[in-house]
Structure formats: structure tokens, C-alpha cells
Structure 1
Amino acid sequence: MTKDTRVHIFVSGKVQGVYYRQNTLQKAQELNIFGWVRNLSDGRVESVMEGSKVNIDKMLTWCKEGPLDAKVEEVKIIDEEYKNEFLTFDIIKTL
């Protein structure tokens, strides 16, 4: 599957302490998406994702809902130039 789309997202709401990052990791692996996710000190979750446009769109739809206990208020999506810089999808250190 071609990796041709890259997005940088910021998710606001009740998204920390509800396994949002772990569930994002699992969903990304299911959809063959590469990149990373992390918590931010202001309570948001940040992620950079690369993959096929179809799978990125599916991932973004999932991010707007999140896991069961999450209450997503907003997903800010920034389209970026595809860089093909990731081999995996990881949870990285909180910023």
C-alpha cells in the first residue's frame, strides 16, 4: 500500500488518562499507518501520521471519536508534505 499522505494532528478534550495513545497505536497498526503519538503537557494529544490517503482518512475519523472513555472536543488537522520518514508507529515521550 502506498504511503502518500501526512497529517499532523492535535486532539483536545478528555484524551489523557483514557488510553487514547495506546488505542491510537493499535488503530494505526491495523491501518498500516506510520508515525507517532504523544501526550502534551496542556492535556492535548499530538500525532504525526503517514499512510495512504484512504487509511489516513479512516484514522482521522477514528481520532474524532477516540476510545470508549475519551471525550474528543476538537481534532486540529494540519496537512503536511509527505516525507516517508517513519518505519513504525510509536508512542513517544510527553512534551
Structure 2
Amino acid sequence: MKRVLINVTGKVQGVCFRRFTQSKANELGITGYVMNNENGSVNILAQGAFPSVDNLIEWCSVGAPQAQVDKVYVQEDEEDEIYLDFSILPY
């Protein structure tokens, strides 16, 4: 299993980025969460099979149809908390 923290910057709030991320994560069988940050970026915690998580990271560079992604930062996460689904969280 692979677990990463992803930070996406650009025009990623107010364009349904979180909802599209949740849909893509569910399609790929990924658990975790997505949430907006006060600075206008979006954070994603994704855990699942290696190729599925890599596919989500690749998808993030384009994101929601109305989004304009500037950068995608990825960091390996070593926490051991297990998520059973993929949630949209508030700030």
C-alpha cells in the first residue's frame, strides 16, 4: 500500500475540485480525504495500491474541468491510520 500527502496549488477552489477528486479516488479504489486550505490550495491524503495512487497524482496535474493547476507537491506519509472511504473535509 502507498500513502501520500498531495498539495495542489492554482485555481483549485470554487471549481468543484474536491468533488471531482473524491469521484476519481472512488473510481481508483483510493481512501483518504481532500480538503481546502485557507491559502487557496487543496490538500489530499491518498492511500491505496501503488498504481492507483500514482494515477491520482497524475490526475491532480489536470484536476477538475474548470481548475487551473499550477503545481502538485507530493510527500510520502508514514502515518498508520487507516481510512475506509474517501471523504471531503472542510478547512
TM-score, L = length of structure 2: 0.96
1:1-95 to structure 2, matched below 5 A, reads: 4-81=1-78, 83=80, 85-94=82-91
- The number of equivalent residue pairs is 91
Distance (Å, rounded) in 2 between the aligned partners of 1:19 and 1:60: 17
Amino acid at match of 1:75: V
Equivalent residue of 1:26, what SS? Answer: helix
Q: Give the aligned residue type for 1:28.
A: A
Q: Which runs of 5+ in 1 are unaligned?
A: none
Deviations 1:1-54 (A, max 9, x none): xxx000001100000000100000000000000000000010000011100000
Which ranges of structure 2 fall in alignment gaps of 5 or more residues? none
Q: Distance in 2 between matches of 1:30 and 1:88?
A: 12
After superposition, what is the alpha-carbon deviation per residue over 1:53-94, rounded to whole angstroms, capped at 9, x for unaligned? 000011011011001110000011001126251000000111
What is the CA–CA distance in structure 2 between the aligned matches of 1:44 and 1:52, rounded to whole Å? 25
Taking only aligned residues, the RMSD between alpha carbons, in angstroms, comes to 1.0
Q: SS in structure 1 opposite 2:43?
A: strand
